[in-house]
Amino acid sequence: MTATGPLSQAIRVLVVEDDPVAADAHQLYVGRVPGFAVAGVAHSRGEASRLLERTDIDLILLDLYLPDGHGLQLLRGLRAGGHQADVIAVTSARDLAVVREGVSLGVVQYVLKPFTFATLRDRLVRYAEFRAAAGEASGQDEVDRALGALRSPHPASLPKGLSAPTLEAVTRTLRASADGLTAAEAGIKTGISRITARRYLEHLVSNGRAERSPQYGQIGRPELQYRWISATR
């Protein structure tokens, strides 16, 4: 694998992702964050294990669903072999039992697909701050600050007029529709007006979680059809 960026002082990252398009996107994203460089890309658990045997890696961007085994199986093997690389799970997995197991194995961050460059950049910058903390803590406050670098200080705020429960309802409805929905259809399914539904759908589009395209009928202006983006592009 050809690494991007200078590796001498950068945090060396291994991208483990079975989807070639997503792997390319993750590699591109990492390369755009100062202080990080991609040292390798693996598309399977076995390929990742072989690469880790011959390459010094500081951080693994780990997809959990791999064609030859679960990502946590790879991580358990690494820990049993004494490998101390930190891990950011980049995955669509939302099972909190999996999240808890990952934390116990040393997963320091979770990034849910689909996500934007800004989301991953934020996680990488916070990880770099955490990694840069050195020396002996003077007390509990300093320990808390070091650990707090890994966590966002506040939940991402919504635009004025949008509520988290309604956004969750619209998101759930859109994800359940394989063929997508118009704003009118989303409104009917969630019990809100078409105009309100469109505001939430447009918010999902602006955050890279949904896409829209015109749907042409027999007469009149085309309607916008919204679809959930199931993987990082």
Any idea which of 118-127, 135-144, 148-157, 158-167 has the lowest mean pLDDT? 148-157
Q: For the chain, what percent of residues have pLDDT higher than 70? A: 82
Tokens representing residue 199 in the block: 């505001």
> Is residue 233 pLDDT above 50, yes or no?
no
Question: How confident is the model over 83-140, as pLDDT tens digits?
Answer: 888 999 988 777 777 788 888 887 888 888 877 788 888 888 888 887 776 556 666 7
> Is residue 146 pLDDT above 80, yes or no?
no
Question: For the CA atoms of 91, 26, 117, 90, what is the dihedral angle to 10 degrees?
Answer: 20
Q: Give the pTM.
A: 0.61
> Is residue 5 pLDDT above 50, yes or no?
no
pLDDT of residue 156: 53
Whether the CB-CB separation of 48 and 17 falls below 8 Å is answered with no
pLDDT of residue 51: 92
Would you list the DSSP string of 71-132?
HHHHHHHHHHTT---EEEEEES---HHHHHHHHHTTEEEEEESS--HHHHHHHHHHHHHHHH
Question: How confident is the model over 186-232, as pLDDT tens digits?
Answer: 999 999 999 999 999 998 888 777 899 987 765 666 789 999 885 43
